[in-house]
Structure 1
Amino acid sequence: MASPLDDRTRAIISACVPALQAHGLAITTEMYRRLLSSPDIRGLFNMSHQRDGEQPRALALAVLAYARNIDSPGALSAMVERIAQKHAGLNILPQHYPYVAEALLGAIAHVLGDAATPEIMEAWGKAYWFLAEILIGREEQIYVAHAAAPGGWVGWRAFRVRDRQAESADVTSFELVPQDGGPVMRHVPGQYLGFRLDVPGQGEECRNYSISSAPDDRHYRISVRRIDKGIVSDWLHDSVDEGTVVQVSAPAGDFTLDSPPPGPIVFLSAGVGLTPFISMLGALDAAGATVPVRYIHGTRGPKAEAFGDYIRDLAARGRIRADIFYSRETPPQAGSAPAGVTWHDGRITPQWLKTQVDPRATCYICGPDGFMRDMIATLKAAGVPEARIRYEFFGPAADAALAG
């Protein structure tokens, strides 16, 4: 267990909040420049998030939140758990932490210059290792649980693509089975897999993809949207076929379905944000859950709608009530909608959502950051308690409203 920080250290870190507000992004950008110069570390990061600046912005928000809550670290428990789960998905180990310490402290000294006094640098060194020890301890618990679970493993395990299936114009599913022929750890609906991929011409790339299949002990499925100029998504769509072998880490993530569900459920998604919900819906269907389930999804049009047949089947069998919004193409004629499905023209709006959501429901949200921010604010305004608003984002949380 990490030793508590002393009063002087906490006071210095708190006093740094204005400097972090002014220079936090410059510090984290410089930190990543230093960190990624090491070949031992570079392969652990999604480089596309470096190029578009998302990762440095997300880390700047996290560092600022840490400084603001240095006197009450318990307020950051959700953020710490999210980070630990992400690290477990990438197989981050204790020996990686000194690289980050050197890069972060060096970046603080570089950006702040003479303002980075020895006292400030000492305080940040202590604060970094205090948080690092908490993360290392939690990550070790996750790895121990993975090793002990039936079909579980620690580190990278070879999986073979058994099947691929086009789900829409730009989403393809890949069914994965272990190359060793053994069982797999049953995931909790909503979790993701970490991947270490050797992309020709690009080298090693790491990614996380939500599991889109219901839990079982033989295989996983991921469903990936092709991103414009996406290094990994293009490779997956264009080159990965049946028989391709990829390296996979055990399921991780804390955006998971309550079991059993305590009451009504709302799944609220946009675009490929539906993937964890497909796993959750599969689990609920297999368990014969009787709670009311509302599925609300925004997509560009019928050709872009992934898993549309599956959703219509669930609705026809009375398992869910579905609302599908088409933002760029005209929806099918309203009279042709199957039982349990309503088609809408346009985007999901706060005005519409306020009239639809049961305040007793647990609401799960996944999609672009702006979409989630608007939906979360709407749900709160509609009277849904914050504890029953759950959300997951793809990649780093570069939005202050989602970073906590």
Structure 2
Amino acid sequence: MYLIYLFLIHFYRLGLERTRHMPSPLRDASIALIKATIPALAEHGITITQTMYARLFQNREIAALFNQSHQSNGMQSEALAGAILAYAHNIDNLAVLGPAVERIAAKHVGAHILPEHYHFVAEALLGAISDVLGDAATPEILDAWGEAYWFLANVLIKREKDLREAAARAEGGWTGWRPFIVADKIRESDCITSFILRPADGGPVLWHQPGQYLTITLSPAGIPPMKRNYTISCAPNGKYYRLTVKREASGGGASAFLHDQMSVGDTLLATPPAGDFVLPETQMRPVILVSAGVGLTPMVSMAESLAARHCPVPVHFIHCTPNSKTHAMGAALNALAERHKDRMTVTTFYSRPLATDEQGVAYDQQGRITAQWLTVWLAAHIPLMDADLYLCGPHSFLHDMLTGLDAAGVPAERINHELFGPTISLQAA
């Protein structure tokens, strides 16, 4: 899952001449010019980002930093266009972008994006703005966006440096790409396989936060290397990571390579764990883990971690998958819940159960998890405002859950979610 939230990487021109240390405040005139471009960005944003990517990918080094599967369906262009528009809307109130900046910095560290990469994307995007907007992209507007770009880029460059240094200092930590050996390969279902990764140097690994991911590089013969993000699906242990990967329906790309060609003893490269969809170190409220499909991977890490911590709060894991053929890690999760039955439950939905799938044995509920079902369930088990919810799954699942939970009055600060793929708007306008 390589989500590049590149609303940071906007615009060039003044940028190359500006200092790359502490950012200077944006000028009022620049803020006004950027605000004036909002209508054009709203109308032409996706065309701009599509043009930007076409320019950018002429550079093979930069193209290799991107998950190309996110380009084919247009979702990455849509995500970037929305992010640029959000930046323009909030250019005079950048404090609201703080969480997004932290998320972007973490992803850039994972993808090993370095300060020298910034100007390549900036040039491509500014050129795209000029191409698409034509005479409307005046020198003054381009200069304003150049100023805004380096303001945000400098913030990110500094934060990314801090994150890299912290990862390198920590026990088991490292910076850049580290070789890992596939120590085991475990078939979890017809379409999901787990890979146990141990460092090739025999040393310890950084203790990840439950919910984080690894960025890995795969090197199939005859094609450019592929970089992907995969969630770590085990509790932190200092010895190894477990990645649990679904074979994508397209049948090609990184997931197929892992399933079909990656074997025990093979080597891949990984950067340190990253991501902000994580459990806090101290959990004070009941935890509700809700997932669909391969969205269970961060939830398994969280559930195992809460059990290992002997955390006293109730933990309820609710998962949906089509049927027993696709159901991954079910036996292990049920066994975990049985060992901690005083405080942990697992509820499984099958949306398309097989004739041989026995309700009450293989699964608990037929159909899909809905926000309505969840709010009714919460009302019967836990006061609605007293739990922390963690959601992960495909776009349609998250959209429906977030919209429904919002309508039910569940506070936004109680809901944490992760989407596998480019981040676009998940809630109804």
Same fold (TM over 0.5): yes
Equivalent position of 1:128 in the other structure: 149
Provide TM-score, normalisation by structure 2. 0.90
Residue identity in the other structure for 2:427: A
Q: Where does 1:107-186 land on structure 2 (aligned, <5 Å)?
A: 107-186=128-207
Match of 1:322 among 342, 346, 358: 346
Shift, 1:335, TM fit: 4.4
Equivalent position of 1:243 in the other structure: 265
Aligned mates of 2:280, 2:377 — CA distance in 1: 22
Match of 1:255 among 265, 271, 277: 277
Q: Does the CA-based 8 Å contact 1:162-1:242 persist in structure 2?
A: yes
1:266 correspondence with 2:288: yes
Aligned mates of 2:404, 2:314 — CA distance in 1: 21
Equivalent position of 2:298 in the other structure: 276
1:230 and 1:79, CA in 2 relative to 1: closer, same or farther beyond 3 A? farther
Match of 2:87 among 66, 70, 91: 66
Q: Which 4+ residue blocks in structure 1 deviate beyond 4 angstroms? A: none
Residue identity in the other structure for 2:358: Q
1:190 correspondence with 2:211: yes
Shift, 1:200, TM fit: 2.2
Equivalent position of 1:24 in the other structure: 45
Q: Does the CA-based 8 Å contact 1:61-1:400 persist in structure 2?
A: no
Match of 1:200 among 213, 221, 238: 221
Residue identity in the other structure for 2:403: A
Mean CA deviation greater in 82-91 or 198-207: 198-207
SS at match of 2:225: strand
Aligned mates of 1:402, 1:141 — CA distance in 2: 36
Equivalent position of 2:61 in the other structure: 40
Shift, 1:402, TM fit: 9.7
Mean CA deviation greater in 201-210 or 325-334: 325-334
Equivalent position of 2:4 in the other structure: none
Residue identity in the other structure for 2:221: P
Match of 2:358 among 312, 320, 333: 333
Aligned mates of 2:224, 2:178 — CA distance in 1: 18
Aligned mates of 1:333, 1:324 — CA distance in 2: 12
Shift, 1:363, TM fit: 0.4
Mean CA deviation greater in 243-252 or 328-337: 328-337
Aligned mates of 2:168, 2:72 — CA distance in 1: 35
Aligned mates of 2:334, 2:94 — CA distance in 1: 45
1:3 correspondence with 2:28: no
Structure 1, unpaired ranges of 5+? none
1:391 correspondence with 2:414: no
Residue identity in the other structure for 1:133: N
1:91 correspondence with 2:116: no
1:335 and 1:401, CA in 2 relative to 1: closer, same or farther beyond 3 A? closer
Aligned mates of 1:160, 1:87 — CA distance in 2: 24
Aligned mates of 2:428, 2:243 — CA distance in 1: 24
Mean CA deviation greater in 125-134 or 159-168: 125-134
Could you list the per-position Cα deviations for residues 120-145 of structure 1 after superposition, in whole angstroms to 9, with x for gaps in the alignment?
11111111111111111111111011
1:371 correspondence with 2:397: yes
Shift, 1:350, TM fit: 2.5
Q: Does the CA-based 8 Å contact 2:403-2:428 persist in structure 1?
A: no
Q: Does the CA-based 8 Å contact 1:94-1:136 persist in structure 2?
A: yes
Q: Does the CA-based 8 Å contact 2:402-2:426 persist in structure 1?
A: no
1:290 correspondence with 2:312: yes
Aligned mates of 1:354, 1:281 — CA distance in 2: 21
Q: Does the CA-based 8 Å contact 1:332-1:343 persist in structure 2?
A: no
Shift, 1:47, TM fit: 0.6
Aligned mates of 2:252, 2:95 — CA distance in 1: 37
SS at match of 1:187: coil
Q: Does the CA-based 8 Å contact 2:323-2:357 persist in structure 1?
A: no
1:55 correspondence with 2:61: no
1:179 and 1:336, CA in 2 relative to 1: closer, same or farther beyond 3 A? closer
Aligned mates of 1:391, 1:141 — CA distance in 2: 25
Q: Does the CA-based 8 Å contact 2:285-2:388 persist in structure 1?
A: yes
1:312 correspondence with 2:334: yes
Q: Does the CA-based 8 Å contact 1:353-1:378 persist in structure 2?
A: no
Aligned mates of 1:307, 1:250 — CA distance in 2: 25
SS at match of 1:188: coil
Aligned mates of 1:30, 1:282 — CA distance in 2: 44
Residue identity in the other structure for 2:182: V
Aligned mates of 1:302, 1:383 — CA distance in 2: 34
Percent of pairs with identical residues: 50
Aligned mates of 2:30, 2:426 — CA distance in 1: 25
Q: Does the CA-based 8 Å contact 1:361-1:384 persist in structure 2?
A: no
Residue identity in the other structure for 1:58: A
1:400 and 1:325, CA in 2 relative to 1: closer, same or farther beyond 3 A? closer
For the aligned residue pairs, the C-alpha RMSD in angstroms reads: 1.5
Residue identity in the other structure for 1:312: N
Shift, 1:288, TM fit: 1.1
Residue identity in the other structure for 2:132: V
Shift, 1:199, TM fit: 1.8
Provide TM-score, normalisation by structure 1. 0.96
